[in-house]
């Protein structure tokens, strides 16, 4: 990973206004509320958390598919917010996204070949005469047959459609890909195939990958670093092996304990996620935290490395991260076992043309 981050977000804020039936503003959904993070060349950063925590909005802000209300978004040192539309359009060839739903992300009126060729044509990457050969090469690289270029999206399974979406994302030669739940809509066996494919492509092209996911089994196997979000803020971040082995925030422990058979690292989550329109004051997790104290209701804890953290890059926003009861020894995640077995069984073969 290079010294300078490829993607850098500093204090990013995105609030969505809430209006009444007469159009008057009555508040705002605080989807992302002051988030800072980096992604380096060739690094896989996973952003995890419950539905509604702001992770998908953060992914869109990272690519300027949505405009932040405050903060900066820099890609390769360039402030994306300051770029005029024409320059941003040229920059987009280096930043691509894989969406969650492979059925909705492909235009049903375009053949597979047309969909994959669109970024090639838009950015003038190859001459028109060479488009078809490049499209067929990309389809072969993601495990599809070259002749699939002439077929329509509805003729493919969900796993095949997601492979098409990956080929389209690769077409422009990106340096960064944001994957918003890229395998959650697929069958478990197909998930393993697509995860194998993504890991191969990340290594081959040295891609920076921002993985947005709630599937901790997937995150555990593919991520270099993990960011845990709660109500629009980061509550824990660090190397994946440390976050999973020694989680330092009660929310992270609760997420891990909520997965069947994860080893009982903490009490499962209790209660519902508070409204992002009016999040709790001070520590936002205090209304659901089993270790809450008076200070948690009065002071917002900073995101810092505790005195007992194994590495200074493992940080948590908890007043008591150094004195929480020790988590039980990590046990192998049954879901991870299953994923590992499926990955091995569905490892890429010489002929993947009929893969789902």
Return the domain boundaries, the chain: 1-18+27-76+176-185+206-346
> CATH says 1-18+27-76+176-185+206-346 is which class?
alpha beta
pTM, two decimals, is 0.88
Instruction: Compute the CA torsion angle 75, 78, 79, 81 (nearest 10 deg).
Output: -80
CA dihedral 338, 340, 346, 347 (to 10 degrees): 180
**What local confidence, expressed as pLDDT, does residue 337 receive?**
54
- Token output for 79: 């402030």
Give the Å distances, CA to CA, from 274 to 40, 173, 216, 247, 277.
33, 41, 22, 22, 9
Residue 190 confidence class, pLDDT cut points 50, 70, 90: confident
Residue 154 neighbours by CB under 8 Å, 6+ apart: 108
R_g over Cα of the chain: 21
Please give the pLDDT value at position 59.
Answer: 97
The per-residue pLDDT for range 20-55, each reduced to its tens digit, is 998 999 999 999 999 999 999 999 999 999 999 999
**pLDDT reading at 193 higher than 80:** yes
Residue 158 to residue 6: CA distance in whole angstroms: 31
**pLDDT reading at 264 higher than 70:** no
What per-residue confidence (pLDDT) applies to 18?
95
Cα separation, 96 vs 110, in Å, equals 19
Q: What is the pLDDT of residue 215?
A: 87
Confirm if 235 and 269 have CB atoms less than 8 A apart.
Answer: no
More confident position, 309 or 326: 309
Q: pLDDT-derived band of residue 3, with 50, 70 and 90 as boundaries?
A: low
SS3 sequence of 137-191 = HHHHHCCCCHHHHHCCHHHCCHHHHHHHHHHHHHHCCCCEEEEECCCCCCCHHHH
Structure confidence at residue 142 as a pLDDT band (50, 70, 90):
very high
Tens digits of per-residue pLDDT, 143-186? 999 999 999 999 999 999 999 999 999 999 999 999 999 998 88
Look at residues 238, 262, 258 and name the one whose alpha carbon lies nearest to residue 321.
238
309: helix, strand or coil? coil
* Residue pointed to by tokens 């069984």: 345
314: left (phi over 0), alpha (psi -120 to 50) or beta: beta
């Amino acid at each position: 990973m290079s010294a300078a981050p490829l993607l850098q977000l500093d204090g990013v804020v995105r609030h969505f206004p809430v209006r009444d039936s007469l159009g008057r503003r009555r508040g705002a959904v605080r989807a992302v509320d002051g988030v800072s993070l980096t992604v380096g060349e060739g690094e896989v950063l996973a952003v995890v958390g419950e539905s509604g925590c702001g992770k998908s909005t953060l992914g869109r802000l990272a690519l300027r598919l949505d405009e932040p209300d405050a903060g900066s978004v820099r890609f390769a040192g360039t402030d994306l917010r300051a770029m005029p539309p024409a320059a941003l359009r040229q920059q987009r060839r280096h930043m691509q996204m894989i969406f969650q739903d492979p059925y909705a992300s492909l235009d049903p009126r375009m053949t597979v070949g047309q969909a994959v060729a669109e970024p090639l044509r838009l950015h003038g990457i190859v001459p028109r005469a060479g488009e078809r050969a490049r499209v067929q090469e990309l389809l072969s690289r993601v495990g599809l047959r070259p002749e699939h270029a002439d077929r329509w999206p509805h003729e493919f399974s969900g796993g095949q459609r997601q492979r098409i979406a990956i080929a389209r994302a690769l077409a422009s030669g990106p340096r960064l890909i944001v994957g918003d739940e890229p395998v959650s809509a697929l069958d478990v066996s197909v998930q393993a195939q697509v995860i194998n494919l993504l890991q191969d492509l990340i290594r081959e092209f040295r891609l920076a990958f921002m993985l947005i996911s709630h599937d901790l089994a997937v995150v555990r196997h593919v991520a270099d670093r993990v960011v845990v979000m709660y109500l629009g803020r980061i509550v824990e971040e660090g190397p994946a092996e440390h976050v999973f082995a020694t989680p330092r925030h009660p929310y992270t422990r609760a997420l891990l304990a909520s997965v069947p058979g994860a080893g009982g690292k903490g009490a499962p989550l209790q209660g519902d996620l508070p409204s992002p329109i009016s999040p709790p004051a001070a520590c936002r997790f205090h209304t659901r935290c089993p270790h809450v104290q008076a200070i948690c209701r009065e002071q917002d804890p900073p995101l810092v490395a505790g005195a007992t953290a194994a590495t200074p890059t493992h940080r948590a926003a908890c007043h008591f991260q150094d004195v929480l009861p020790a988590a039980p020894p990590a046990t192998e995640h049954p879901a991870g076992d299953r994923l590992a077995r499926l990955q091995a069984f569905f490892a890429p073969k010489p002929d993947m043309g009929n893969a789902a």
